[in-house]
A = this chain, B = another copy of it.
Amino acid sequence: MARKRFDDSSCSVARALNEVGDWWSLLIVLQAMYGTRRFVDFQQELGIARNILVDRLCRLVDNEVLRKVDVGEHGPRFEYRLTDKGRDLFPVVIALRQWGDRYNPSPDQPPLDLRDRPSGRPIRQLEVQDAEGKPLTVRDVFVAEDNNEAPSNGKKQA
């Protein structure tokens, strides 16, 4: 049967996963962050089937994660470029990468060494922080109740 959709879920995580929660979409976005823009390049670098790539690119364009730009001076040539919405997936990708590096390091290779251009020093480990910038774990965070709602039994964890 059809995959279940969460377009109208009240949970924003579910709605986000609806757009980039499949096996390929985030990898396409990642590849775009590396600078890839052309259909054939995505296809070769990811090793994705062409029909699936068409489908994912269209979906990402529909969801405004990518923009399809016609660069066809002579003949049909297109580029798929990240939008601001797509670029704002950067923290998601970095969070996943750091988690993967920590718990599933590659046996053959060291993790990618990401640095910032101005200083040339490695970027920071991403962490959830409070208003002052102090790190928070799952257990430190709770969902504040909406005052207009009926009060619930107790504070839920994040």
Contact = CB atoms under 8 A, between A and B. Distances in A.
Interface of A: 3-4, 10-17, 19, 21-23, 26-27, 30, 33-35, 47-48, 64, 82, 85, 87-106, 108-124, 126-133, 136-144, 146, 156-158
Identical copies in the complex: 2
Contacts of A132: 119
Nearest to A104: B15
Contacts of A129: 123-124, 126
18 contacts: A12-B105, A13-B26, A16-B100, A22-B23, A35-B156, A88-B102, A90-B128, A90-B138, A94-B128, A95-B95, A113-B143, A116-B131, A116-B136, A119-B132, A122-B131, A122-B144, A123-B131, A124-B133
B144 A12 contact: no
A22 B113 CA distance: 27
Contacts of A102: 88
A27 B103 CA distance: 19
